[in-house]
Structure 1
Amino acid sequence: MKNQINHSKEIMWQATVSCDSSYDGIFFYAVRTTGIFCRPSCRSKVPNCENVSFFLNGNDAQNAGYRPCKRCRPDLNMKIYDPLESLVKDTKQLIKNKYVQNLSLHEIASRVGVSRFHLNRIFKERTGYTPRVYLEKIRVNEAKELLLTTNLNSTEVGYRIGYQSVSSFYNAFKRNTGLSPSQFRAYRNLNNVNQELD
């Protein structure tokens, strides 16, 4: 088991260079030239050894004048911080809150602070969907809810959930459910089945 006190600078430096997450929470490293401190697992560019100081806790680093890294968030009180998980969570929340707006992938990526390419790749790796497909699923679930709980017609439902044309709504709905919006409403009313929506 690693000892918090008896770490040589060489061991801590090796853990920093190799981004060893097993040392997260045991020490932090700070870089004089940037004024930032990080977790050992941080994927930031490896600094020059002579510019690095080590601290046993984040408060000591902050008291010494260093700011927490925005990538690895050493200021958060958690053993392991997964920035990619936070990116996915923020993206999902943004899409859920703004699904009615016609947000482009570029706009979504810009709001969560990464490139379109990076967001598309990470989001698909973590969820199995691209942000656009996830947006479509959110919209279709909202459409199902409206079809079952209101008297709005299919066209009105499509516009209400953010589609700019009836055909794009119809195609998205059929792609996700296998039914047209009117078939879905008729089928559900006929069977009167209360299925829980995702």
Structure 2
Amino acid sequence: MLSPEVMLDRFLARDHTYDGRFLTAVKTTGIYCLPSCPARSPLPRNVRFFDSEPEARAAGFRACKRCRPDRFYRDEDPEADNVEKVAHAIADAPAAWEGATDIAEAVGVGSTRLTELFRRHYHTTPAAWLQRQRIRQAGHALLFGRGNALDCGLSSGFESASAFHENFRRETGMSPGAYRKLRRATSFSITLPDDFRVDDTLNYLVRDEGGVGETLDGRRFRKAVCLTSGPAILDCVADPAAGSVTCRVVADRTLCANDLAAAHRIVIRLFPIDVDPGPFERRLARTRGMSRLIRGRRGLRIPRTATLYEGIVWTIVGQQVNLAFAHSLRATLIELCGPPAPNGLRAHPRAEDVARLDVADLARRRYSRRKAEYVIDTSRALVEGSLSLVEGTTEPATRLERRLLRVRGIGPWSANYLLMRGFGFDDCVPIGDVALLAALVRFFDRETRPDADETRELMRPFAPWRSLATFHFWKSLGDPA
């Protein structure tokens, strides 16, 4: 239960993360608002708080016409709809947009408000979103288009060869020319940032100690995956001295450009060079008492799951069990129905593989019946199309979270974990995570574990990079999560 002091503080801060948790009513105007309402703040003595709309209405208050709490509680968000519409338009034609000013005009807000909206709904800035879409389109043109490499960049919205090469290499780890060669390649190398923590990343990636789906030998990491045309092995060798990861794609068939593009995407997800922890680290370095969180771990990045489906399965399997047992359950699933790949490894199963199972198949293998139902039902929903998970989606994180919470077996912890480790959103907090709570107790020298509201308060100073802060807290315990 939130105290009046906390509710007033969050209302005055216009904290959108508290939308839906309480309503603020203003006695002098007779209206009730969401905590994030941008209207002028009233005097504290004129404020009342309510848990729900019916309570506010019963007390004689009406919905604010500016923040529209009535629409919010009906799951309508015109502002989010507008931002999503523009974000989708940018993804469709990134070259048509010059920069943040164009985007602000299309959304109908000022530049500051635009940044707030993109941070809230997409966990990024408008400029970064535009850049990402330009690189995505340029990559597609390089693999499947006919123009030269520079034409691919210019037609995607880059203004010069230098801007194209620099930004493309930063996001993909490859020059445009090297990326184009994926059309006929079976191997490729990505360049690592200078601060990339190779050994931390490799040790995090090996969850399968039995060697069913992936293996690690020194700095050689092998993982079985399903590419466009079928199973393959990603045989990756990391070389910190050279600042690179070289990946050989091993399959029992001829690979196509789509296969190599998929392999490259997976390698970037596992070795997330497209994430820059610098702004987060600089913020903490100049914030009193916070720099110790990153001490000895600068350059830390969050490896994403190889695929979104692998992410949602791990999220369900890892709920409310210790990590060792969760890893065992994951290995069991791979062994049971994962497609065989070269060299004796098995790829993580696809949704259609798991959808064919019965609950008894997993219950006989140490899955609880409920966990087995969650995994199988989610897989069937993906196969049938009633649930959709799309990499590189233009769907806002806020809407995606609400949609995930409707899935049986997905709660607030699961949704935020998947948003962070599957989709790569930057500002997530897996509320209720046991390791995070233990780390917060230690870091803030608390006597008791924080509840959900206290966790949000403790994590608030780390916005808009709370995903990375969470990962640092996990690592502070030596717990990979």
**Shorter-chain TM-score: which interval?**
0.5 to 0.7
- The one-letter code matched in structure 2 to 1:74 is D
Give the SS at the match of 1:74.
helix
Q: Which runs of 5+ in 1 are unaligned?
A: 1-15, 49-55
Other-structure match for 2:115: 120
What displacement does 1:30 show? 9.6
* Distance in 2, Cα, partners of 1:181 & 1:22: 43
* Distance in 2, Cα, partners of 1:78 & 1:122: 20
What displacement does 1:99 show? 1.0
In structure 2, relative to structure 1, the CA distance for the partners of 1:29 and 1:97 (3 Å cut) is farther
Deviates most, 95-104 or 129-138: 95-104
Structure with greater contact order relative to length (CA < 8 Å, sep ≥ 6)? 1
1:57-96 deviation per Cα after TM superposition (whole angstroms, max 9, x unaligned)? 89xx9xxxx997243352466168595x556534522422
Normalised to the residue count of structure 2, the TM-score between the two structures is 0.30
Task: Give the aligned CA root-mean-square deviation in angstroms.
Answer: 4.6
Other-structure match for 1:129: 124
What displacement does 1:161 show? 1.1
Instruction: Answer yes or no: is 1:156 the counterpart of 2:151.
Output: yes
Other-structure match for 1:78: 74
CA contact (8 A) 1:28 1:57 kept: no
1:93-119 deviation per Cα after TM superposition (whole angstroms, max 9, x unaligned)? 242244112422122122213221232
1:31-59 deviation per Cα after TM superposition (whole angstroms, max 9, x unaligned)? 998x98856874533569xxxxxxx989x
Other-structure match for 2:96: 101
Give the SS at the match of 2:174.
coil
In structure 2, relative to structure 1, the CA distance for the partners of 1:148 and 1:72 (3 Å cut) is same
Instruction: Answer yes or no: is 1:144 the counterpart of 2:142.
Output: no
CA contact (8 A) 1:163 1:169 kept: yes
CA contact (8 A) 1:154 1:182 kept: yes
* Distance in 2, Cα, partners of 1:186 & 1:23: 48
CA contact (8 A) 2:118 2:126 kept: yes
- The one-letter code matched in structure 2 to 1:157 is C
Instruction: Answer yes or no: is 1:167 the counterpart of 2:162.
Output: yes
* Distance in 2, Cα, partners of 1:152 & 1:173: 17
In structure 2, relative to structure 1, the CA distance for the partners of 1:41 and 1:99 (3 Å cut) is closer
* Distance in 1, Cα, partners of 2:93 & 2:63: 32
CA contact (8 A) 2:34 2:67 kept: no
* Distance in 2, Cα, partners of 1:27 & 1:173: 45
* Distance in 1, Cα, partners of 2:26 & 2:151: 56
- The one-letter code matched in structure 2 to 1:135 is L
CA contact (8 A) 1:87 1:112 kept: yes
CA contact (8 A) 1:17 1:46 kept: no
What displacement does 1:122 show? 4.6
1:144-175 deviation per Cα after TM superposition (whole angstroms, max 9, x unaligned)? 11111122211221122122222222222111
* Distance in 2, Cα, partners of 1:82 & 1:121: 15
- The one-letter code matched in structure 1 to 2:141 is L
In structure 2, relative to structure 1, the CA distance for the partners of 1:70 and 1:43 (3 Å cut) is closer
- The one-letter code matched in structure 1 to 2:125 is T
Residue correspondences, number: 183
CA contact (8 A) 1:91 1:108 kept: yes
In structure 2, relative to structure 1, the CA distance for the partners of 1:163 and 1:27 (3 Å cut) is closer
Give the SS at the match of 1:141.
helix
Normalised to the residue count of structure 1, the TM-score between the two structures is 0.60
In structure 2, relative to structure 1, the CA distance for the partners of 1:23 and 1:138 (3 Å cut) is closer
What displacement does 1:190 show? 1.0
- The one-letter code matched in structure 1 to 2:94 is Y
What displacement does 1:177 show? 1.0
Deviates most, 171-180 or 93-102: 93-102
Instruction: Answer yes or no: is 1:89 the counterpart of 2:84.
Output: yes
